[in-house]
Amino acid sequence: MKNVIEIVRNVDQLMIPENFVGIGSTRKVFRYKHWVIKKHLHEIGYIQSQNEQKIHQALKKVGLANYIAPILYLDEKISIQPYVQTLPLVNGETFDIDYKTDLRISVNLKEAIEEIERAHDGFDFLDSSNYGEDDLSQLILIDYGMTKTLYESKWVPLAEAGVLPQIYFEPCIKCGVEKELRIYGEHDTDRRCYECGKE
């Protein structure tokens, strides 16, 4: 826990471009050694991290916590989790996890997902960006705080209003590479990727 405390003390110096890992609609992720720092870009990101903390605690009680990345620290600005190798994109984009054929999905992970869906209104577990791969090549949930209620009642209206970005797979108008772009509503004409300067 000492290392996590030091990360919290120095977090502004650690959330730099060199440590950038990825960005979603509500959180931006940085890696420092064996940890990831999720910066909350919006109140919904903070709610997701709070949900993850509650879910991890609940799954501990039923023996399923080893299959999801725990929250080691949480405040309104950031959350910290152990680093798990993220899954690579396929042709520049995320993909749907196939529960029936992907051998990296353990029986226990399936059980954990079913418990999150049943008891915690869990949502969006097909998206490959929600998983990492541990040292034994097993999948681990790393992003599991979005609930169906939160998605429908808060995320969708804000995305439709252009406040939160949706992900489109298109060529970037600057580098020309086809990849996932963050688009803020139907009137957003800035078709640049994150690497070319668009947040």
Buried (b) or exposed (e) across 32-65, using 16+ Cβ within 10 A?
A: beebbbbbbbbebbbbbbbbbbebbeebeeeebb
Q: Is the pTM of this model over 0.85?
A: yes
pLDDT of 1 reads 58
In a domain, 171, yes or no: no
pLDDT of 182 reads 93
In a domain, 48, yes or no: yes
Which one has a higher pLDDT value, 92 or 105? 105
Average pLDDT over residues 2-13: 90
The predicted-structure confidence for 25-84, as pLDDT tens digits, reads as follows 999 999 999 999 999 999 999 999 999 999 999 999 999 999 999 999 999 999 999 999
CA distances for 40 relative to 15, 45, 139, angstroms: 12, 5, 24
CATH number for 98: 3.30.200.20
Q: Which domain holds residue 143?
A: 2-164
In a domain, 173, yes or no: no
Longest CA span, the chain? 50
pLDDT of 136 reads 85
In a domain, 32, yes or no: yes
In a domain, 59, yes or no: yes
The yes-or-no verdict on residue 135 having pLDDT over 90 is no
Count CB neighbours of 182 within 10 A.
19
pLDDT of 199 reads 83
